[in-house]
Every structure is written in C-alpha cells, then in structure tokens.
C-alpha cells in the first residue's frame, strides 16, 4: 500500500512466477550473464541471473472513486498455456483488502493482453459475466479498435471473446482518449509501443505524483537497457523510444513509479545512472517523501 497525497494505492497479487531466464520467456537480450552485470537488480528482481515477475492488480482509491487498474489472468479461462484454467483467491484477497467487487467504480485496462483483462469477467453458470457490476470499464479507443478487428493472434481472439466482449455487450465499456481524465487526481497517460493503444495511469495529488506503468516497462532491467524490448511488443522501436523518454521524465520529475509486473519492492524512483537509469525502491505505506 502506498499513500500519494489523498490517494491510496493497494497492490493485490494474483501470483508470482518462479525466477526465469529471459530467453525462455519474452526477453531475448536478458540472459543470466547480462543480468549479473547489473548489480542493483540482485536480490530483489533477479535470482542468480534469473528474472522475477509478479502478476498483480492495483487499486487506486481517491476521495471520489475506487479504480482497479488491470485485472491479471482471471480464473477458469481456457488458455492452452501454463495459465490454463487457473484458480486463485484473487477476488477474496481483493475483498479482504477492503474492496469487494461491488465497490469498484472504474476498471482501467492499460492494454488488452491476456494478463491484464482476465478478471474483467468471471464464470457464472457457464457464462462469462462482468466481475465488477457497478464499474465502468475504461479502454483506450485505439486499443479496442486494434483487438476487436485482428484475427491473426488466436490466443487474444479468445481473450477478447471471454474477457472483453462480455463487458462490452453488458454496456459497461467506455472507449476513451489516451489522455482521459478519470477524476481530479487520476488520468491516463499515453505510453505507446507495447500495444497499439497502451496507456499508463498518472496520479497527481497535491505536491505528490505517481505512475502505474502498465507494460511500457516489464522489468527493472529495462531501466539499465531501455532498448531491450519484449518479443511481444507491437512496435519495438516505439516501445524503446517510449521507455527512454518516460524514464528521463520520471527521473526529472521525482515521480513514484509502481511497476505492474515488478515484484517486491514494487514501487520506487527512477534515477539517472550515467547514460541510462536505475531503480531506487521505497517501502509500502511510506509513499513519497
């Protein structure tokens, strides 16, 4: 949990992956040997050269609304991979943190990949129904247009059908601009490249600011190597340019950065490190100092 002015941000973990080597996943450049060359990554984010990842959602509670940012994989979804029909206590953990499904006012999808939309829906009597019945689901217009029309990615066709289409059909989706303002303290911030209409979430309350990254950065090693893109980036050159410009801005503006896939410590500050950057972590509940 982090406090940013009048805004409280709470991490709800779906699960954490065992440490993995980059080439076995989606980062062809992130070999174990190269990870050992970045000493500040160990032990928090790298174990013997292997990458650590977390899959979690973030609840942003402002004085006027409760916002859930990204909804992980979700239960019971047929995926044909290691995440096939998983069963986690995510909704129980969300409620235990003080946020039962009915309390969520907005669901923000930073993008429509498999691990960011799963809990948009849940299985009820053989049908996919909206998990958060009182919420408006916010999706960038560009992002929705891309995934609603594409047919070449069979997995994400299925993801769209079971995790996006049902909330659209229920009339709960708002298609918004890349810089949409949710309330006085929270707005979307365009961070293109990973997907066609990728956004991050900017929080500004009094003198304090924070950003929830989404996947414009997947892992802290990308601060040291902004040019190391993921295989699944829609436009690797654009995602690299986004990381370079965003890291520079975040370092200059002293913004609390909350990584959507960063394991503990999940939040911290971007610092300049010669020609690149590094991550300086902070403890939960302390917020910005």
Domain containing residue 86: CATH number: 3.60.15.10
Residues 172, 127, 113, 260, CA torsion sign: positive
Angle between helices 141-149 and 154-163 (to 10 degrees): 120
- How many domains in the chain? 1
Please state, as a whole number, how many other Cβ atoms lie within 10 Å of the Cβ of residue 275: 5
Tokens representing residue 118 in the block: 């799963």
Please give the radius of gyration of the chain, using alpha carbons only, rounded to the nearest integer: 18
Give residue-wise pLDDT tens across range 123-180.
Answer: 999 999 999 999 999 999 999 999 999 888 888 999 999 999 999 999 999 999 999 9
288 band by pLDDT with thresholds 50, 70 and 90? very low
d(CA 34, CA 23): 11
Question: pTM for the whole thing?
Answer: 0.95
289 within a domain of the structure (yes/no)? no
Give the Cα separation of 277 and 23 in Å (integer). Answer: 23
Residue 286 lies in a domain: no
Instruction: For the chain, give the percent of residues with pLDDT over 90.
Output: 88
Domain-located, residue 287: no
User: Within a domain: residue 215?
Assistant: yes
Q: Give residue 96's pLDDT.
A: 98
Neighbours of 287 (CB within 10 A): 20
Cα separation of 115 and 225, whole Å? 24
C-beta separation of 211 from 259 below 8 A? no
- What's the domain range around 98? 2-281
DSSP string, 160-184: HHHHTHHHHHTT-EEEE-TT-EEET
Among 40, 34, 72, CA closest to 53: 72
pLDDT at 111 over 50: yes
Task: Say if 288 falls within a structural domain.
Answer: no
Q: What is the pLDDT of residue 281?
A: 87
In a domain, 162, yes or no: yes
Let me know if residue 63 belongs to a domain.
Answer: yes
- pLDDT for 10 beyond 90: yes
């Amino acid at each position: 949990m982090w406090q940013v002015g009048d805004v409280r941000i709470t991490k709800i973990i779906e699960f954490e992956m065992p440490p993995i080597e980059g080439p076995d996943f989606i980062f062809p450049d992130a070999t174990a040997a190269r990870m050992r060359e970045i000493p500040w990554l160990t032990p928090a984010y790298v174990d013997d050269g292997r990458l650590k990842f977390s899959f979690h959602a973030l609840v942003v509670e402002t004085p006027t609304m409760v916002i859930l940012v990204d909804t992980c994989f979700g239960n019971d979804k047929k995926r044909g991979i290691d995440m096939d029909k998983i069963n986690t206590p995510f909704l129980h953990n969300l409620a235990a943190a003080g946020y039962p499904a009915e309390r969520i006012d907005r669901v923000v999808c930073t993008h429509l990949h498999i691990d960011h939309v799963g809990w948009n829906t849940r299985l009820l009597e053989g049908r996919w129904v909206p998990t958060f019945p009182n919420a408006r689901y916010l999706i960038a217009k560009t992002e929705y247009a891309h995934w609603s029309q594409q047919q070449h990615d069979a997995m994400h066709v299925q993801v769209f059908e079971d995790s996006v289409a049902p909330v659209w059909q229920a009339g709960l989706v708002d298609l918004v601009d890349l810089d949409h303002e949710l309330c006085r303290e929270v707005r979307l911030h365009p961070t293109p490249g990973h997907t066609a209409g990728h956004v991050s979430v900017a929080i500004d309350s009094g003198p304090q600011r924070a950003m929830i990254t989404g996947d414009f950065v997947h892992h802290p090693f990308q601060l040291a190597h902004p040019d190391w893109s993921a295989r699944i980036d829609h436009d690797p050159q654009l995602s690299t340019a986004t990381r370079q410009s965003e890291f520079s801005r975040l370092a200059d503006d002293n913004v609390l950065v909350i990584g959507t896939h960063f394991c503990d410590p999940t939040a911290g500050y971007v610092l300049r490190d010669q020609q690149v950057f590094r991550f300086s972590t902070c403890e939960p509940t302390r917020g910005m100092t």
